[in-house]
Structure 1
């Protein structure tokens, strides 16, 4: 039998945290963070990291496992998550993979075989220097002949992934796009994929409100502390929520402009998240703006139960448990 896995995806601020906790309580589950930034310690406010109170006793994994000065790759994420899913299944716990980082989620649900190979730090540094001198478009052109699929799929501005694609080819002789063939394979898991969505205007309003609450909660102070510790040119602080505040700290924009940019970039990111999951994942969507929260939870509960348990004794036991009103 395949191991069971429930995945909950959706754009920022749509309600993934609260939804996943309610469902994990109902199914005796544990939550694995599928967010590429919540792995970092000391970056709580800007990543909207779940608090201990919000967890309501549900164990959360892959949160606060790296320092902000450390790098983290999707292949490393995969190596951590796969055995964790096995362990939770063996313990009789239902794993919930929850997050908005599309490639991280797909790396698990379809077991991407990454052509990582050994890295070449000198070559990577040389490419970083090339970007500074010649720009991201010139770097992107280097992919055209050696990996035309990645050339087509990667935007020039996503220069770190472009650099990685070039590095993979140099080290292994194989294009990084080879991993994309894994999307056509069936998932190794007994998989349920749930997507959360809502009216675009409502979502954008929630994002703006979330940013205001982050500022009230001390995002400026959190970012300033990282900045003063010398966390400046690292992967962690390239994230939305920190790079905008860094622009303010370095005098490029006013604080008001930084907050406005943060809201705009968050809205754009939410749009990209929705587009990615709709194009690259077999997701069943639930509109969180329709009906009440509890009614949506009941619908998702029924959906998961039907997909994973059918009319089994486990399903009957869940119904007797009275977890949901």
Structure 2
């Protein structure tokens, strides 16, 4: 185990407080942060992805933010490769790498030996499913996946059409569910890791999400999305992100602004629920409840102590 790089991963639902904790851990243990969010990689998508600001970074280096243009595709395998490079680079400088994010599959791909299926792409099959999604809605394609691979359907949101279609490609070409095609054996840990999970009373979390959305709107979310819309960006991976697709519907005249904001809040709450379910079912996590705001310093102290013991690292204080 000692030959493996040491790594901290901070996971949990949106709006629970991961960003602040990541920065505090980096200060305490001479670390650098790697974003584990699948949408913060995109330039020009700052407000809707709750991207950390320069002021919030407080001098702590952050990696894998603003590395792609919104029209570019970015896969889990791309993320896995880039993060592994960053972990090696940060570790080589005597720093502690800290992944902070809520995209479960992305984090899992880094922590565990996780082989991606070599099932070949089938352009005609893909085109057929894309047409079905356009004509009958994303849910129709997702229902097909649920019939063939219920577990994969649970993991994938219907609006993530690209990955739903890929999962259908894999199960139809290999005859095996997505999970088996990833790795037939129990995954092996690639790092000496401390995985910190933050959770919160659901009603309080939902209230924080609602207030965060209101704050995003007041900070200029509509204008941010309008800029992308007016650039002609359509049907690309980035625009499927929560916070963008809802406002796109408003800009396209498909819904009123108030309704778009209500949808955005609802979709974010649902996403937070799925995040918690994913992390609890997929990973070995040390959970901390952030419900009581006044006790955050006490909780952080417990987390620091856990990291010291788990990774055998010394703090700066």
| TM-score in same-fold range (> 0.5) | yes
In the alignment, is the contact (CA less than 8 A) between 2:160 and 2:240 conserved in 1? no
1:233 pairs with 226, 232, 235, which one? 235
Deviates more, 1:130-139 or 1:156-165: 130-139
Deviation, structure 1 residue 37: 0.5
Counterpart CA distance in 1 for 2:263 and 2:252 is 15
In the alignment, is the contact (CA less than 8 A) between 2:37 and 2:102 conserved in 1? yes
Deviates more, 1:21-30 or 1:116-125: 116-125
Deviation, structure 1 residue 19: 0.7
The residue aligned with 2:4 is 2
Counterpart CA distance in 1 for 2:235 and 2:286 is 38
The residue aligned with 1:246 is 248
CA 1:262–1:143 in structure 2 vs 1: closer, same or farther (change >3 Å)?
closer
Instruction: Work out the number of aligned pairs and report it.
Output: 314
Counterpart CA distance in 2 for 1:125 and 1:217 is 39
The residue aligned with 1:54 is 56
Deviation, structure 1 residue 176: 3.6
Look up the SS of the partner of 1:7 in the other structure.
Answer: strand
In the alignment, is the contact (CA less than 8 A) between 2:159 and 2:240 conserved in 1? no
1:87 pairs with 79, 86, 89, which one? 89
CA 1:172–1:82 in structure 2 vs 1: closer, same or farther (change >3 Å)?
farther
Q: CA RMSD in A?
A: 2.5
The residue aligned with 1:263 is 265
The residue aligned with 1:224 is 226
The residue aligned with 1:166 is 168
With normalisation by structure 1, the TM-score equals 0.88
Counterpart CA distance in 1 for 2:6 and 2:110 is 12
CA 1:243–1:180 in structure 2 vs 1: closer, same or farther (change >3 Å)?
same
In the alignment, is the contact (CA less than 8 A) between 1:110 and 1:183 conserved in 2? no
2:42 pairs with 30, 40, 43, which one? 40
Deviation, structure 1 residue 5: 0.9
Look up the SS of the partner of 1:92 in the other structure.
Answer: coil
1:308 pairs with 308, 311, 314, which one? 311
Larger Rg over CA atoms = 1
1:281 pairs with 277, 280, 283, which one? 283
Counterpart CA distance in 2 for 1:247 and 1:258 is 7
Look up the SS of the partner of 1:193 in the other structure.
Answer: strand
CA 1:206–1:80 in structure 2 vs 1: closer, same or farther (change >3 Å)?
same
1:185 pairs with 180, 184, 187, which one? 187
Deviation, structure 1 residue 92: 1.1
Deviation, structure 1 residue 24: 0.7
In the alignment, is the contact (CA less than 8 A) between 1:43 and 1:222 conserved in 2? yes
Deviation, structure 1 residue 173: 7.9
Counterpart CA distance in 1 for 2:10 and 2:258 is 34
In the alignment, is the contact (CA less than 8 A) between 1:111 and 1:182 conserved in 2? no
Counterpart CA distance in 2 for 1:61 and 1:222 is 22
Segments of structure 1 that go 5 or more residues without pairing to the other structure are none
Q: Does residue 300 of structure 2 align to residue 297 of structure 1? A: yes
The residue aligned with 1:73 is 75
CA 1:219–1:144 in structure 2 vs 1: closer, same or farther (change >3 Å)?
closer
1:261-290 deviation digits (Å, cap 9, x = unpaired): 111111111111111111111111111123
Deviation, structure 1 residue 125: 2.8
Counterpart CA distance in 2 for 1:65 and 1:119 is 26
Deviates more, 1:45-54 or 1:290-299: 290-299
1:105-135 deviation digits (Å, cap 9, x = unpaired): 1111112100146645454333312333455
With normalisation by structure 2, the TM-score equals 0.90
1:152-198 deviation digits (Å, cap 9, x = unpaired): 76566654323112334677787543245468223121011000111
